[in-house]
Amino acid sequence: MRKTIGVRLTAPLLAATLGPAALLLAPVASAAADPAVANPAVAAAPGMAAAPYEYLGWGNPQKPTDVMKATGVKWFTLAFILSDGGCNPKWDGSRPLTGGSDEAAIKSIRAAGGDVVVSVGGWSGNKLGEKCSSASALAGAYQKVIDAYKLKAFDIDIEDTEFGNATVRQRVVDALKIVKTKNPGLVTYITMGTTPTGPDATGKDLIKRGAAAGLANDGWVVMPFDFGGHSGTMGQASVGALEGLKAAVKSAYGYSDDDAYRHIGVSSMNGKTDEAGETVTTADFRTLLGYAQQHHIARYAFWSVNRDRACGSGTDADACSGVAQSPYEFTKIVVQYQG
């Protein structure tokens, strides 16, 4: 397993892993007619739209409260919740939800006036979507996480085998719909890989399944990196991916252009990515900031705070960006986005 870099893998290895895409579902008109689905995204709490990922399990993580003081960021997306081998959620599949360092970190963030999105999934490890045998069981596992922290927002980072299995994609959609029903006002994101022109056939299928199920998801989010080739800057390629995402969400749900933009989001990667020669710069982040501000997208995040510093002796890609930068230079751009 390649730690930080590995868990955010997208297009190149997905293409090699998934094989032929599942049969796409046709858009369902009744989903768009449902007021719960057709209305604009739930109004997020201040700062929620800019919640960079931090991984507390490795990568020499900074104290979240230190990041808050240095940047003004209020929200973090904490990753990752995985299966403990069965249908039971734990941090990294091993650390308990309560009573440990992760809960202590969340309490410290809240005591400093911030809050957290908790992310389930990622590239590596045992996925709850696969280990839970039904949508109701999976919803129960998600609910344990929501209840443990009284969450206002929840992220499903669907990758690798969880993403590539049509049965599991449907299970995740159905489980998330159950969770949305049981937790009114909970903001939900579904995060996935992308090509430079938007979600691939598997990603489009996932969005169509959401629409067909009547899932009122607040943000369909793409990770625009590891492209396996692109034209222009990474900022321009990321905007192309977001435009493709917007078109897919608009088509599936029957949204207006404005509503479609408000239901999409981006989770970029700062500095050098998995792919040799592919680098996301601060200029690319400013391009994304302008796009987010213009269209009022649901989410502008990135992987990761751990990496938001220059590399030094003894550090690696889990703990630094690989580019020349001042501390938290990428976070300071993202935090300017307020929804």
The answer to whether the beta carbons of residues 262 and 46 sit under 8 Å apart is no
Distance from C-alpha of 80 to C-alpha of 118, rounded to nearest angstrom: 7
The answer to whether the beta carbons of residues 81 and 118 sit under 8 Å apart is yes
- Distances in whole angstroms, Cα of residue 63 to Cα of each of 54, 136, 229, 315: 10, 36, 35, 17
- 26 DSSP assignment: P
The torsion angle over the Cα atoms of residues 5, 7, 9 and 13, rounded to 10 degrees, is: 110
Burial class (CB within 10 angstroms; exposed 0-12, middle 13-18, buried 19+) of 166: middle
Q: What share of the chain is helix, strand, coil (3-state, %, to 5)?
A: 40, 15, 40
How does 33-45 read in b/e, with b if 16+ C-beta sit within 10 Å? eeeebeeebbebe
Find all residues with CB under 8 Å of 153, minimum gap 6, and list them. 44, 45, 48, 51, 115, 116, 117, 118, 186, 187, 188, 189
Asked if 130 is an active-site residue, the reply is: no
Instruction: State the DSSP H helix or E strand holding residue 82, giving kind and residue range, or none if neither.
Output: strand 75-83
The residue from 54, 103, 130, 159 that is catalytic is: 159
Closest residue by Cα to residue 269 from 254, 251, 291, 284: 284
Phi/psi for 262 (5° steps) reads: -75, -5
Instruction: State the DSSP H helix or E strand holding residue 111, giving kind and residue range, or none if neither.
Output: helix 101-111
Task: For strands 279-280 and 271-272, give the pairing.
Answer: antiparallel
Distance from C-alpha of 154 to C-alpha of 144, rounded to nearest angstrom: 12
Q: Which two tokens stand for residue 266?
A: 């981006």
Q: Which residues are catalytic?
A: 159
